[in-house]
Structure 1
């Protein structure tokens, strides 16, 4: 009987450790002050500009060939795209860290991870930001919420909760493209 009681106690204690109200989440330091693009702490290939400074990203006309050399333009564009992708990856990793904190907070308060009205606000906000910087509103909406950024963040939130708090936690996350 004592063994059964002890087993029950430990089972309940293990369950309590995984319950939303007692789960303690500590975010990853995923994108750090030592691994950012252009950091002196890591050896990276030479970039065409200082990728640790956002304001140094040149505009795409830098790759326009006055002679119309399309091969040179393509090669140039790829170099800059690779550098910008490095910056985007770093910033997105940082964003996912915040998304994981938001997801853990929602999990702890039994709030739905996926809030379509909030997703719409994020998508509209990104659409406006991208439009402000010269791209199209439609491209910003896709990036911001309609299938990309929010979908990936929600998947990351679910995976983080499963890893840190409750391995049986599931939420159906669908990629929505309008």
Structure 2
């Protein structure tokens, strides 16, 4: 679901301003200080917790039914998953903005977009972070880059460069799944 949510953000168009010698990425206005999950400006959604404070996100045991009502547990879990997915999507859109800045900067300095050693560092770092918070190292490695977050960000960077800086730009981005 996170992958699908992240890919949704590829449909948000980012703007870039180019001159004959430079290409500068201007982040999308879609992930702003007024449309973040829980913003007072967003009136259409309700959340089961205060989404502006991560410490208020309850742990999953809140959905465990003492009577074993699996239907209620599923409904409860989906409510929290939906809220968390919205937060993840917002943060991922923000992350893509930074990835695009990095990509355009690499393009301008004739540096390779895809740096496998850096990708490995990011994936390992995410694996350690996710492990620290109670999930598995394998899940963190996937989130961190093994075929997911980094791959999508590199594709996004390449699209921004192709659309707004150099339509002939190509990069070979290999999706690595272990």
What do you get for the CA RMSD once the two structures are aligned? 1.4
Aligned position for 2:159? 159
TM-score w.r.t. the length of structure 2 is: 0.86
1:86-143 CA distances to partner (integer Å, 9 max, x unpaired)? 1000110110010000000100011110000000000000000000000000100011
Aligned position for 2:78? 78
CA distance in 2, matches of 1:86, 1:62: 19
Q: Which has the higher strand share?
A: 2
CA distance in 2, matches of 1:165, 1:62: 49
Offset, 1:171: 1.1
Q: Which runs of 5+ in 1 are unaligned?
A: 1-15
Correspondence 1:20-31 to 2 at 5 A: 21-31=21-31
How many residues get paired?
161
CA distance in 2, matches of 1:50, 1:90: 15
Offset, 1:39: 0.9
Aligned residue for 2:25, secondary structure, equals coil
Aligned residue for 1:24, secondary structure, equals strand
Aligned position for 1:61? 61
1:8-33 CA distances to partner (integer Å, 9 max, x unpaired)? xxxxxxxx945xx5223323333110
1:60-106 CA distances to partner (integer Å, 9 max, x unpaired)? 00000000011110000000000000100011011001000000010
Moved over 4 A (4+): none
Aligned position for 1:3? none
Aligned position for 2:137? 137
Is 1:34 the counterpart of 2:46? The answer is no
Is 1:96 the counterpart of 2:65? The answer is no
Offset, 1:168: 1.9
Aligned residue for 2:170, secondary structure, equals coil
Of structures 1 and 2, the larger Rg is shown by 1
Q: Which runs of 5+ in 2 are unaligned?
A: 1-17
CA distance in 2, matches of 1:123, 1:23: 28
CA distance in 2, matches of 1:24, 1:53: 33
